[in-house]
Structure 1
């Protein structure tokens, strides 16, 4: 694994207790170069960092998301731990992008995700650019080649730009659509101002389901729940991807493409809960966090709370 780097364990620090009161005391760091994954005896959630913003650079976005995963870890570390001993949370390190070779990084990321799924770990991937989605989906398909995978994307953008010579952070779902016979894609929070007419045309040609940000509100909760549940019913598994630039920039200033008209935390939290409760969610990621433009760690804190919320909602009762 030439692009792999083990976790910097100094990121997992904070207040010290005698009873794992904080997440940094709960997290177990695993070096994939020295340790072999095995099927866990407990319910296991595994963090993997995708320290890559080459796709953002190719898409002419503002770079800096490469440093996102470690900043999210820092904010996760200090959160209070309410998980019992039957829950494992692992950190297996980062995949890097050396010398701008995005395709190599995506392939290695896919292989690790497939291995995590094979060993019954629930992957939560920390980005990094949204080009991660192409790698993430391919990792799921490698492990479950005969299953119908549904993608639910909380995002301001379709990310359906047509590829020319190379993939970018704006092309992952178009790439997926062209490489698979079945393409099941639901976008929540799409903004007209951030997607041109050609992107809407592509979305409609590919039968993409979507709700615009004016519809994706807590006041429209019941209608949104119906859309989400109907989508989930048509697939075998769900892959959830959360682009932080879908949130209002008042909540998430530290992203690659900020927007003042993004969605709010309340509807995102509700949506995540519905998806987790479906029992079909098998993998998730959080992308486009750019600490270079964050303010008082607002976006990093939001990302860490979303990770914590996913785990809370996924725990077997």
Structure 2
């Protein structure tokens, strides 16, 4: 792999990381160094890359981002009982323009997707999700984006992109690859009523912080249906992560955000994972929390069950529930105990939607259907499929 825009890790940093403990993660990662070049990705499952870009941060400041603090924290951790190979590809530095940075990140992610390598992106401003999304342009299917954020970030699509308007650009810019957008952990007072109503009109999913914190497991099916996931560090409460940049006293705590990262990792469909809105003002505890988020994501990847395959689905248990003038069809995996609901496929609709006929759900959705309550996510997905 020849990517001139990738900067290697500093040799002194690598030596410092490796000298910590021979049994830590540092001893199991292939590093991009000046001496050895970019690691061979032949048998690699997860690749870490940092992106030093934050010029389009609204109300932010243009600063050099010291991702080495996260790396030191992450590589000091010990791996679980993993059977994965991990590579650290170094950094994408700021291009001559933000568009140049987008192009570099999009090119890298697209290449990794082809190689079945999952990129873990550490980024500055969250508009980088736009480049993460555009990397899927050549994949012949619609994609689902899950964003853990206190804001919807829809913005005004008519205005230039920034870290508060990139979702609007994803929705209106061609090619149209977005099937569903799910916002997890939004806080009502940070979002206008116009944006809340727009989310409803577009049949997008929005989960309030209070509802998610009450039962974090409700988000597992949402993550299971995602292709790409982004986390805004501003969705974490200030007490948990520290720092002085866009923080709220309300938000996810450390255990909750790590649980969400693990759900993203264990999803058979998630093929890229980004952590954004990083600044160099984080204290040690903040950098360690981010390191643990990465750790839990990789832990999840290690325990994937590959239930998104045709052969696995042949063994699912089928349940049919008559409700109103519909017959809802549910499937349950005898291996993991997870549930799905079938979405009627509209043959005249865009053929990119063929892979969205099974929607992950919870057992509670099946129980509700038995009590004649139609699951809201089924209804929204069916409506989008009909449009």
Cα separation, 2, equivalents of 1:246 and 1:239: 17
Give how far 1:125 is off.
Answer: 0.5
Range moving further from structure 2, 73-82 or 130-139? 73-82
Q: 1:184–1:157: structure 2 CA closer, same or farther, 3 Å change rule?
A: same
Cα separation, 2, equivalents of 1:7 and 1:17: 17
Cα separation, 1, equivalents of 2:87 and 2:244: 26
SS of equivalent to 2:194:
helix
Q: 1:192–1:120: structure 2 CA closer, same or farther, 3 Å change rule?
A: same
CA contact (8 A) 2:54 2:124 kept: yes
Gaps of 5+ in 1: none
Give how far 1:181 is off.
Answer: 5.3
Give how far 1:48 is off.
Answer: 0.9
Q: Could you tell me which residue of structure 1 aligns to residue 154 of structure 2?
A: 160
Q: Could you tell me which residue of structure 1 aligns to residue 241 of structure 2?
A: 252
CA contact (8 A) 1:151 1:238 kept: yes
SS of equivalent to 2:211:
coil
Give how far 1:83 is off.
Answer: 5.4
Q: Could you tell me which residue of structure 1 aligns to residue 165 of structure 2?
A: 171
Q: Deviations over 1:257-278 (max 9, x none)?
A: 1111112233333333333333
Determine which of 196, 210, 234 is the counterpart of 1:214.
210
Q: Deviations over 1:50-72 (max 9, x none)?
A: 1101121xx223444x4153321
Q: Could you tell me which residue of structure 1 aligns to residue 251 of structure 2?
A: 262
Q: Could you tell me which residue of structure 2 aligns to residue 108 of structure 1?
A: 104
Matched pairs, number: 299
Q: Could you tell me which residue of structure 1 aligns to residue 292 of structure 2?
A: 305
Q: Could you tell me which residue of structure 1 aligns to residue 314 of structure 2?
A: none
Q: Could you tell me which residue of structure 1 aligns to residue 70 of structure 2?
A: 72
**TM-score, structure 2 length as denominator?**
0.70
Q: 1:208–1:2: structure 2 CA closer, same or farther, 3 Å change rule?
A: same
Gaps of 5+ in 2: 305-387
Q: 1:253–1:34: structure 2 CA closer, same or farther, 3 Å change rule?
A: same
Q: Over aligned residues, Cα RMSD in angstroms? A: 2.7
CA contact (8 A) 1:68 1:128 kept: no
Question: Which protein shows a greater Rg?
Answer: 2
Give how far 1:202 is off.
Answer: 3.1
Q: 1:37–1:165: structure 2 CA closer, same or farther, 3 Å change rule?
A: farther
Q: Deviations over 1:253-297 (max 9, x none)?
A: 2364111111223333333333333311111011112122x23x2
Q: Which has the higher relative contact order, 1 or 2, with Cα contacts under 8 A spaced 6 or more apart?
A: 1
**TM-score, structure 1 length as denominator?**
0.84
